Structure 1
Amino acid sequence: MTTSVPAGTSGALTGATGILTGDQYRASLDDGREVWLSGKRVDNVATHPAFSGVVDEFARLLDLRHDPEHVELSTFVSPETGNRVSQAYSMPTTPEELRAKFAASEWWMRESLGQLGRSPDFMSNVVVGLRDYAPELAAVREEFGKNAVAYHRYASEHDLVLTHALGDPQIDRSADPRKDDTLSLHIVEENADGVVVRGAKQLATLAPFSHEVLVYLNGVTAARGAEKFVLWFALPMNAPGLRILCREPYSLDAEGHTHPLGRRFDEQDAMLFFDDVLIPWDRLFLLGDSMTAIKGLVRINAWSLQSTHIRFLQRLRVFVSVAKMVAHSIGVDTFRGIQEQLGELISYAETLELGIIGAEAAAERTPGGLLAPRVSYGLGFWSAGVSARVAEILRQIGSSGLIMQPSEADLTSELRPTLETYMRGHDIGVDEKSRLFRIAWDLVGSGFGSRQELYEYLHRGEPGAGRTRLWRSYDSSAVDAQIRDLISRP
């Protein structure tokens, strides 16, 4: 199925059916988009062997929402059309609506084992933030606010799977982008139809599997006062002139050594190249206003940040279970040091869980009138910091066993009797033990695992810069006054 690029989104609900089925999602990816992998253009993302496992996983998740067991939890009825739409697009105004929104997030993350950083739940919540920020966008230009409202309606009713692209290419980060247009995406022309942009953006996680990309300012460029680079817009992935370059996939099996997580959850990362791409006027949300962009970066992520916390909590729980089972499989779970390490893993999961509960309980009313969780960037940067330690604990517990496990092909070969003798575990057969350790390897040792760990460290923003922003914005005035009072007298 090939679909044309929509001319705009204002009121464009013709043909909208709400939540997609898995088959509808697969068909929607065959839309003429220009995806490149290993020097070749991909004919159809849904059927390519490097991508099909992930597409199948997304199709499974989308189909589950139609199941009577999950439909009420994961969706709600659109008051405008009567369609079932994803809870991730809901705009909560009461604590009950906020709870329903994040109960759906918890469902998404349980089903995907916390492995999909760009599950549809994440970016759909960004679009809710964009919709909530519409009055501030309208203050810059009335049409921008209207476009944000219309885009939320369009994305929710058409059940769009979205990616975003914020970073500039790593060419020379010491250079001033105002003097070298090649470092940042920028406008080369304005005309009656919209603006024409040229340049590149990274790192668009989920790009080949998405329907559209949402591009908005990265804060570094804005802080430098480079107004010409302030661009907020949405664009279909099959837009003329947009090329998608994918990294090496981690989903392919090698000689029967299966990657049980990578095969299902390698959500891909991509560079986006914009070769004089037209952005229609009704797909633009902001141009040329750095301060509105900088303030908006916090506002539009009010709900997606909580979604990220919920996903990382599920990922931590997976680590706890895998580490506990690995320790038991080799009989080391009775050792005091191993028990301390397992307890440390659990302490991280419990801390994050309490932070998530607290952020929701302390929800605040936004200027746009919605109810949003308490801003919790500190919790996010804490998560980025502990992620490496979590992986290190599992590596230490699994030790060399993470490296040497028989493949599925080995298990059905004439070596089977030998494997049962020398490669079984404590109260666990060689089949289950080898599969358990391959899951552990995919978490901490494979290319997929290494990518996941780097993603955890960086995707909330560079932690050092983030902590600096926290220091600059944190209000310690009340306690500062107490300390000054104490030191002002003997």
Structure 2
Amino acid sequence: MIRTGDQYREGLRDGREVWIEGERVTDVTKHPALKPIIDIKARMYDMAYEAQFRDTLSYEEGGERHSIFYKPPREAKDWQDKLVAVDQVLKDIGGVVTRVGDETIGEMWSLTDGRDVLAEIDPRFAANIDHHIQAVIEKDIFHVSANTDPKGDRSLAPQDQDPDLMVHVTKETDAGIIIRGAKYETAAAYADQAYLKPTVGAWSTEKLSDYAVGCIVKMGAPGVKHICRSGFAGKSNPTDYPLANRFDEVEALVVFDDVLIPWEDVFFYRHTRAAQFVRQTLHRYSAFPYVLRLLYNADMMIGAAMWNAKQTGLDKLQAVREKLADLVVYREGINAHLTASLAMAERSPGGLLMPQQSMLYAGRVLACSQLPAMMHIARELCGGQICITPNSDAFAAEGSGQWLDKFYSLNQNWQSDDRRKLLAFARDLLNSDYAGHRLTFVQFAQAPHFNHLAAVYNSFDFSGPLDFVKKSADLSDRIDAPKQ
């Protein structure tokens, strides 16, 4: 069944080892850096119980209600239902969060698509895939992804340096495998479990490798240690930094110090072919909700820039409208790729309905690669005041407040308080430490840019352009037909 917010919080009190700024956290649900984002996730759980959201955020099957986000997409309506659910959640919480579960369950669906391939390589673990996908649905598990290793010196093979710089298996036991190493991951400290998979992709002659492992790791399991980065929440006045204090998704270096992975939680082990196959198909579903988040981020940039133009009366200037149009083109470009990927959706090898891959991956390249330029356009439209405006205490103080009220009040409709609020929001969205962190996060959250381009190359059907030019240029029939 779907969980309540309190049930989610209680599940995090499992004795997990979490560290922030050298301090061992005794209760992650109460720590100032983690509590705000945990409260957001708890709110998402509670929304599914409220009458106005219940039928949008959950569905009934077998006499039980389950989260719409974890429902495997088998028809077009399933994707449309997810779009509506995301829209309701983000508008209710008043911001954008990326790692809340729906964007990583897709990696498990990719395992379903590769089930037969993985079973052919090693038949021991195929049933584990089905079991875990069903477990996420039935238990409403907050499921994240453990992807990026520290790696160390990349000119060296993993076995030629400290072996723990990449996650690997050290021992097999009757109970399961023992793993060591570490992963960087967002939201791990306040998630239930993570799908751990290798990042090594350059295996050439190796058929077997202790680094080729994919499994489920419980975030409170013995030997799992979360060493979090410093959080943005609680470090500043929420009035001055409204986004950083509510929506900071804290990353951690998750250390696996001889962690036992029961055999039922293993998806593949040692076979490099299995690992490479999984890497190739990993994002075929998860890229969609990830890119969808950037659509909402674009909406926030447009909204902040347009409100500033309206406050200052600059919305009537053609030059301002052209820059706003640039933001709109970016936003609608993302929207067009997402819409088209669903309109052209394809049946996957596992029988699911997956977004048309070339269109989806091209949309991801657009959304990620153009984000820095779009943020700068939004900064221009919001003006220099986003970096020089005093904080809320200065507006409230007797000595300075009267002057700030005078110079930040624009007219009878726009008084200094609303002006300050908009500038604080825009600063946090575009200029703050939190904004810089989010921009870097976007560039690497689903692998770096060259991997995005590789996904486009590998998913695009080149036969159409090749055949077209072959005929137009009257090329010889001896040329082999392009392979699909």
Common fold by TM > 0.5: yes
Aligned equivalent of 1:401, options 367, 382, 385: 385
Aligned equivalent of 2:229, options 234, 241, 247: 247
For residue 482 of structure 2, what is the aligned residue in structure 1? none
Q: Deviations over 1:272-325 (max 9, x none)?
A: 111111111000011122333333334443322211122211111111111111
Does the C-alpha gap of structure 1 residues 306 and 112 become closer, same or farther in structure 2, counting only changes over 3 Å? farther
Cα distance between partner residues in 1 of 2:410 and 2:117? 60
For residue 18 of structure 2, what is the aligned residue in structure 1? 35
For residue 471 of structure 1, what is the aligned residue in structure 2? 457
Aligned equivalent of 1:450, options 436, 456, 480: 436
Alignment of 1:223-234 (within 5 A): 225=206, 227-234=209-216
What's the CA shift for 1:45?
Answer: 0.5
Cα distance between partner residues in 2 of 1:242 and 1:222? 27
SS at 1:32's partner residue?
A: coil
Cα distance between partner residues in 1 of 2:160 and 2:66? 45
Q: Which amino acid aligns with 1:465?
A: N
Cα distance between partner residues in 2 of 1:371 and 1:326? 42
For residue 478 of structure 2, what is the aligned residue in structure 1? none
Aligned equivalent of 1:420, options 398, 405, 418: 405
SS at 1:143's partner residue?
A: helix
Q: What is the RMSD computed on CA atoms of the aligned residues?
A: 2.1
**Conserved in 2, the CA contact under 8 Å of 1:113 and 1:315?**
no
Cα distance between partner residues in 2 of 1:100 and 1:422? 47
Does the C-alpha gap of structure 1 residues 154 and 249 become closer, same or farther in structure 2, counting only changes over 3 Å? same
For residue 327 of structure 2, what is the aligned residue in structure 1? 345
Cα distance between partner residues in 2 of 1:268 and 1:451? 11
Cα distance between partner residues in 2 of 1:253 and 1:428? 29
Q: Deviations over 1:26-56 (max 9, x none)?
A: 2221110000100111111100111111122
**Conserved in 2, the CA contact under 8 Å of 1:420 and 1:430?**
yes
What's the CA shift for 1:472?
Answer: 5.3
SS at 2:275's partner residue?
A: helix
Greater CA drift, 252-261 or 309-318: 252-261
For residue 320 of structure 1, what is the aligned residue in structure 2? 302
Cα distance between partner residues in 2 of 1:278 and 1:221? 27
Greater CA drift, 379-388 or 473-482: 473-482
Does the C-alpha gap of structure 1 residues 456 and 241 become closer, same or farther in structure 2, counting only changes over 3 Å? same
Q: Which amino acid aligns with 1:176?
A: A
**Conserved in 1, the CA contact under 8 Å of 2:309 and 2:381?**
yes
Q: Which amino acid aligns with 2:47?
A: L
For residue 171 of structure 2, what is the aligned residue in structure 1? 189
**Conserved in 2, the CA contact under 8 Å of 1:193 and 1:281?**
yes
SS at 2:409's partner residue?
A: coil
For residue 189 of structure 2, what is the aligned residue in structure 1? 208
Q: Which amino acid aligns with 1:216?
A: K
For residue 359 of structure 1, what is the aligned residue in structure 2? 341
Alignment of 1:128-143 (within 5 A): 128-143=109-124
Does the C-alpha gap of structure 1 residues 154 and 301 become closer, same or farther in structure 2, counting only changes over 3 Å? same
**Conserved in 1, the CA contact under 8 Å of 2:57 and 2:67?**
yes
Alignment of 1:372-391 (within 5 A): 372-375=354-357, 376-391=360-375
**Conserved in 2, the CA contact under 8 Å of 1:90 and 1:128?**
no
For residue 71 of structure 2, what is the aligned residue in structure 1? 90
Aligned equivalent of 2:250, options 268, 273, 277: 268
What's the CA shift for 1:231?
Answer: 1.0
Cα distance between partner residues in 2 of 1:358 and 1:251? 37
**Conserved in 2, the CA contact under 8 Å of 1:213 and 1:237?**
yes
Cα distance between partner residues in 2 of 1:162 and 1:301? 15
Greater CA drift, 377-386 or 188-197: 377-386
For residue 5 of structure 1, what is the aligned residue in structure 2? none
For residue 54 of structure 2, what is the aligned residue in structure 1? 71
For residue 166 of structure 1, what is the aligned residue in structure 2? 147
SS at 2:103's partner residue?
A: helix
SS at 2:158's partner residue?
A: coil
What's the CA shift for 1:63?
Answer: 0.9
For residue 330 of structure 1, what is the aligned residue in structure 2? 312
Q: Which amino acid aligns with 2:283?
A: N
SS at 1:121's partner residue?
A: coil
For residue 296 of structure 1, what is the aligned residue in structure 2? 278
What's the CA shift for 1:257?
Answer: 5.8
The percentage of aligned residue pairs carrying the same residue is 26
SS at 1:229's partner residue?
A: strand
Aligned equivalent of 1:462, options 439, 448, 451: 448
SS at 2:51's partner residue?
A: coil
Cα distance between partner residues in 2 of 1:52 and 1:296? 34
In structure 1, the gaps of 5 or more residues are 1-17
TM-score (norm 2): 0.91
Cα distance between partner residues in 2 of 1:175 and 1:188? 20
Greater CA drift, 210-219 or 188-197: 210-219
What's the CA shift for 1:461?
Answer: 1.6
Cα distance between partner residues in 1 of 2:203 and 2:141? 28
Q: Which amino acid aligns with 2:463?
A: S
Residues matched between the structures, number: 469
**Conserved in 1, the CA contact under 8 Å of 2:176 and 2:261?**
yes
SS at 2:99's partner residue?
A: coil
Greater CA drift, 454-463 or 279-288: 454-463
Cα distance between partner residues in 2 of 1:262 and 1:22? 22
Cα distance between partner residues in 1 of 2:446 and 2:30? 31
SS at 1:235's partner residue?
A: strand
Aligned equivalent of 2:218, options 236, 242, 249: 236
Q: Which amino acid aligns with 2:190?
A: F
Q: Which amino acid aligns with 1:388?
A: P
Does the C-alpha gap of structure 1 residues 304 and 355 become closer, same or farther in structure 2, counting only changes over 3 Å? same
**Conserved in 1, the CA contact under 8 Å of 2:151 and 2:166?**
no
Q: Which runs of 4+ in 1 moved over 4 A?
A: 221-226
Cα distance between partner residues in 2 of 1:305 and 1:106? 17
Cα distance between partner residues in 2 of 1:298 and 1:341? 38
Q: Deviations over 1:2-40 (max 9, x none)?
A: xxxxxxxxxxxxxxxx21111112222111000010011
Aligned equivalent of 1:118, options 88, 93, 99: 99
What's the CA shift for 1:405?
Answer: 2.4
SS at 1:163's partner residue?
A: strand
TM-score (norm 1): 0.90
Aligned equivalent of 1:146, options 116, 121, 127: 127
Cα distance between partner residues in 2 of 1:201 and 1:411? 44
Greater CA drift, 212-221 or 334-343: 212-221
SS at 1:234's partner residue?
A: strand
Cα distance between partner residues in 2 of 1:478 and 1:342? 36
Cα distance between partner residues in 1 of 2:6 and 2:75? 35
Greater CA drift, 115-124 or 352-361: 115-124
